[in-house]
Amino acid sequence: MNIIVCIKQVPNVTQVKWDADGSLIRTGLPTIINPVDKNAIEAALQLKEKHGGKVTVLSMGPSQVESALREALCMGVDEVIQLTDRKFAGADTWATSYTIGVAIQKIADYDLVITGVEAMDGNTAQVGPQIAEFLGLPLLSYALSIEVAGGKVTIDQKLGDLSRVVEAKLPALVTVEKEINEYRVTPIDKVIDAFEKNIPVWGVDDISPDVVHLGLKGSPTKLRKVYSPKLEKGKVEMLEGTPDDIARQLVDKLNAKFLI
Amino acid sequence: MDFTISPVNKMIIKAAKDFSERKIPAIEAYMKEHSDYPPNLMEIYAENRMLGFNVPREYGGIGTSNFNMILYIEEMGKTASTCFLPFMMNNSVAETICHWGSEEVKKKFVPPLCDGTAWATMAFTEPDTGSDPKMLTTTARPDGDDFIINGTKRFISMANKPGYGVFICKDLSLAGQKNNTTAFIIDKTSPGISCSKHYELTGLEGADTCDITFTDVRVPKGNILGKQGEGFNILLRWIAGERIQQAAGMVGVGQRAFEEAKKYSLQRVVNGMPMGYMQGFYWMLGEMKVKINACRLMVYQAVCKQDAGKSFEVDSAEVKVFTTPMIQEVTRMAVQFLGSYGYSKEYIVEKLFRLAMHQGVVASSLEINKTIVGMTALMSK
């Protein structure tokens, strides 16, 4: 059973600091594997341990993404592929999904694609489903478990407080929730092996995409502005009355500001 | 000597930190409740591929350096958990058997120490024997294809856990010879072996240190490690490595003590200012940091010599002599930093302080190491 896992390298937003104007300080922010993507890798490794086969991890990004892929090798995956090209830069979720989709088409030999539900920096949850759409694969999203048997994949799908069982024929794409597993502590022997492997880098010439769909130019999303909401201090209004009165006043005020 | 931390080293540290943060709390909780290690502790270590660091892969090990191992130990030391002791023991005993053992011995005894099915032990100390091999009273008497072992070993870690121990005994077949100690690899579940209850120790909470008594315990001659008469040399080489590993753990203890003191000094406000900005306190922080860094560099230097295959026994003794009082002082200063909170069991610095005290008496005393360093200096040309 051959599995492809798509991961993203993200800034460690748990260590974000803000300057005096309330703007994000990006300089020196460490990068990490998007946490739920580590659960995706773990899910793939567990399926491989049960069914055999190979786990390949794919990631698109600048040259620094190599460290995320090296860490994936340290977790024990068989192969990694780095998608790096200046023409990929500035891609929105659609162009990213297209580029990764074309790379997966090049890999060709796979039964299952697994991604994390969403990245902690953008929180769109769009790339996994868009890759499935591009490749024409059944999409099984929000997985709390994955079982593979008889040419089918079955997941327990998280739907808020409820869950339901979803099944599809392989090949398919599954997006996983963090609750699906506890990803492993990096095994030391795999660390030693990981640093002896070369990481192949695929650019535009390696995957032959339609270049009009790549990067910023190929992105239908136009980002107008990125800004940090201004934090206003000292504007506190104390509500008076019984708890019921206060609750009603609070609801009215939030409604007036279209916050609920 | 270049101590640059490579990308591999960094990943080892990251893995160790991850293990310490995600796995040790549950181990520690068990130890607190039961005053003993979890029965599956070695399985946990094996699952996370932490056993056999410096053992070739053909014997089930990882095949990496002692340097990488001490980086791992330092991170574990920061948790103040005693669970780093059996981790060090399985690793160091497996390496010792690989170094001294015949091919047959290595194939038989090393893989179980790497796959988590066996707990390792190394035993020399006896009720009336400190560091002098001539004082040993545990005897090995030849009998056909076996030896018969009788005697008691004291303060032995993991003696009551299933697995293999290396026991240094007086070899009666070498009576009258200068080197009359032989190392035997003994299955600790053999008939005739009994153990006392655990000792209650000042630090090292949860450690299972006890006495182990041999009454006519039969051990095949094939279980001799190295050659007959090499027992004490085997012990000296093993304990030299153990001292470095122990010091690495204590560097972690010191680092945690420093971090706790720093954190407190920024939180506690005195006269409208975090107390860390008062000269008396930041001088203390500076002193603690320098002491820890000096200890760390000594550990790195000694372990690099070990990895290079050079003689490291005296360097290891120097590490003990320097790092023991340094880390004990750093943890004491952390207690002072936190005042009465530091003397309370609710704060980890109290545990770090007690833990640091073990370094002066466990895995050879501070004083015997001063003797090694001093006499070596005196005798060298």
Among A71, A74, A189, beta carbon nearest to B62: A189
Question: What is the reported pLDDT for A230?
Answer: 75
Q: What is the pLDDT of residue A101?
A: 98
Residue B127 in tokens? 């009720």
Q: What is the pLDDT of residue B70?
A: 97
* The pLDDT of residue B2: 77
Q: Which positions in chain A touch B8 (Cβ < 8 Å)? A: 191-192, 195
Hey, what amino acid is at B60? Answer: G
pLDDT tens digits along B189-211: 999 999 999 999 999 988 999 99
> Would you give the DSSP letter of residue B271?
T
Burial B328-354 (b: 16+ CB within 10 A, else e): bbbbbbbbebbeeebeeeebbbbbbbb
Edge-first strand order for the sheet with A112-116 is A162-169, A152-159, A139-149, A172-176, A112-116, A2-6, A54-60, A79-83, A201-202
pLDDT at A21: 61
pLDDT digits (tens, 9 = 90+) for B205-249: 889 999 999 999 999 999 999 999 999 999 999 999 999 999 999
Q: Output the average pLDDT for chain B.
A: 96
The two three-digit tokens of residue A239, written as one number: 């509500």
> In the CATH scheme, what is the homologous superfamily, with its name and number, of domain B233-379?
Butyryl-CoA Dehydrogenase, subunit A, domain 3 (1.20.140.10)
CA B226/CA B236 separation, integer angstroms: 13
Q: Does B5 touch chain A (CB under 8 A)?
A: no
Least Cα distance to B46 among A45, A73, A188 occurs for A188
Q: Residue A6, SS3?
A: strand
Which residues of chain A approach chain B closer than 8 Å at the C-beta? 70-71, 74, 182, 184-192, 194-195
Reported confidence tier of residue A23, pLDDT bands at 50, 70, 90: low
CA distance B70 to B12: 10
pLDDT of residue A223: 76
Query: How wide is the angle at C-alpha A159 spanned by C-alphas A100 and A13, nearest 5°?
Result: 55
Interchain CB contact of B107 with A (< 8 Å) = no
Within an 8 Å CB–CB cutoff, is residue B182 touching chain A? no
Domain range annotation of chain B: 7-114, 121-229, 233-379
**Cα B298 from Cα B294, distance rounded (Å):** 6
Domains of chain A: 2-213 (3.40.50.620)
Residues B138-167, mean pLDDT to the nearest whole number: 97
The yes-or-no verdict on residue A116 having pLDDT over 80 is yes
Q: Which residues of A touch B55 (CB under 8 A)?
A: none
Which residues of chain A have a CB within 8 Å of the CB of B68? 188
Distance of alpha carbon B196 from the chain centroid? 21
For chain B, percent of residues with pLDDT exceeding 90: 94
Q: What is the pLDDT of residue B129?
A: 84
CA distance B165 to B110: 11
CB atoms under 10 Å from CB of B86, counted, come to 23
Domain covering B121-229: architecture: Beta Barrel (2.40)
Query: Is the pLDDT assigned to residue B126 strictly greater than 90?
Result: yes
Min Cα distance A188 → chain B (Å) is 6
Instruction: Give the three-class secondary structure for A25.
Output: strand
Nearest to B166 by CA among B216, B99, B258: B99
User: Which among B15, B19, B23 has CB closest to A191?
Assistant: B15
d(CA A22, CA B353): 41
- Please report the pLDDT score of residue A12 as a whole number: 85
The pair of three-digit structure tokens given for residue A237, joined into one six-digit string: 């209004």
3-class SS of residue A161:
coil
The model's pTM:
0.90
pLDDT at A14 over 80: no
Under a CB-based contact definition with an 8 Å cutoff, are residues B225 and B91 in contact? no
CATH architecture of B7-114: Orthogonal Bundle (1.10)
| pLDDT confidence of residue A26 | 63
- Could you tell me which chain A residue has the CA closest to the CA of B57? A189
Size of interface A-B (CB pairs under 8 A): 47
Using CA atoms, how far apart are residues A93 and A124, in angstroms rounded to an integer? 8
Pick from A122-136, A232-246, B305-319: least confident:
A232-246
Tokens representing B49 are 């591929």
Closest CA to A36 of A117, A112, A114, A157: A117
Mean of the pLDDT values across residues A83-100? 96
Average pLDDT over residues B23-28: 97
Determine the distance from the C-alpha atom of residue B249 to the mean position of all C-alpha atoms in its chain, rounded to a whole number.
8
Q: What is the DSSP letter of B229?
A: T
Q: Is the dihedral of CA A42, B44, B243, B105 positive or negative?
A: negative
Q: Which residues of A touch B57 (CB under 8 A)?
A: 189
Interface ipTM: 0.89
Amino acid occupying residue A165: V
pLDDT computed for residue A121 by the predictor: 85
pLDDT tens, position by position, B28-45: 999 999 999 999 999 999
Tell me whether strands B164-171 and B181-187 are parallel, antiparallel or unpaired: antiparallel
Q: Do B8 and A184 touch (CB under 8 A)?
A: no
Helix (H) or strand (E) holding A56: strand A54-60
CB atoms within 10 A of CB A77: 23
Q: Which tokens is B212 given? A: 């182990």
d(CA B354, CA B82) in angstroms, rounded, equals 11
